[in-house]
A and B are shown apart, each in its own frame.
Chain A
């Protein structure tokens, strides 16, 4: 079930507490890599349309829990992996997942779910090769109640009646702290400098990979 596959491509995860910031950060990475001649794909939240359908359906039913939303996130992620992420990785390309696992994990945790539950739920997704945190803007403001911006904003709409504390200004601050603290490996803070460092790390890792594959011992050659 867990995706232990080693793909020839590279996966960059971009997470953040605000959908707009994540989108901007993904766009900045895309532009920076393009300048270096590296084409890459971007996989965005709700590519499956599940969240849109959920908001539109159910006769306006907003009686949804964070656990239900997390399951929808996982289903959307499964869709994105199948159609947008894995094909690029298998072909040796670069793909930016904006957002990826950390966003759902941090938002779910501040809403009261067990982090371990969230991680195990999404264990079918491969680990990102590089992790970036979007530059947070309007950090003193709560989330905008919108269903089309990002996961947390969507959650702010859906959980407003059942768990209002989960979507307050303080909750957003806790999510940012959670995103900062959940870094098990190197995290790139996606300012201009951070994007530059990420770009360099990506190029180096691709060079390393091609060096490794070209230095394989070849039979019959001296």
Chain B
């Protein structure tokens, strides 16, 4: 059986926004043996999920069963590959599913159509309820092979929503499916922040009467206080090792940035300005913290080290800048910049040269950006009409897609890669 490790002849140096996409033929998955009705349903879901995952990446132009109907297949591999090639495809994705002891198995392969060589082969097996997971795992492997960076199909986003009338914290898969509430305080809960190790989410809630920072353990569902002293604590942001958090706290109306251990101990104040200092974001390298400060008159994004020194301003456009989010390499910061009247747009500033590009437009305000762990996408909260929804766009710019629709949905925070 051909597996991985063959010569990567069609590996492309793919960068966000590059025009040349890989042309991929993805015919219907083959079924081995007979599937029970449940397995057949799972198999359909699996195949659709693989295709959707690969579509979402933006790195492929995919010909599915409909586009490939013109291919005259005989079952002879060389002949069939030539047929796919004749339709303009460069690579071929084949899937074969079968049922085994009440579980579904997928064998996925990718071939280089020019050489006819198998370049990737993976086998997955799991219960019918795990078919989306299996599809995501395979799709992420395919993306890893072609880009050198794992796909994001197994990642999730945290956000908050008023769909029940209260504001609760929710999770959803990267594609907006499987939305589920993880708080039920029946209050205002907001500002979720993923622990980089994926075990917990820190958030702000008012259920005890004043905004304070809590943490929900995602395994057990247990919630516990993180920072509740004082009158107003907000905007938690985990350090990359997950052991500490940066947050903002009001000292009688003067909001300052602090850091503390996960359990609230080891409190340390980092800012000392009479202006508002809030919304910290710990850099992925662990050495810097971006935050918003009105010390210069209007809210702007600043970066300091974790001692609170070496401060510099990094936002210079717009009349109001807030919501800094680091790209996974720590080289760029996305934030919301008020560029059109009172409306915000998502901009990205390169920290080395301080050049800034604007990524959004549209009828309403766009705020609260967050990067996918591969750096190829940015999710944000976009106002359209009277509603705010989470949208996803390529970080290089391009068309965006709404991934929420129920109620208003704010403040997305993208998870890290799940543990392998």
Question: Is the pairing of A and B real?
Answer: no
The chain A residues found within 8 Å of chain B, CB to CB, are none
The chain B residues found within 8 Å of chain A, CB to CB, are none
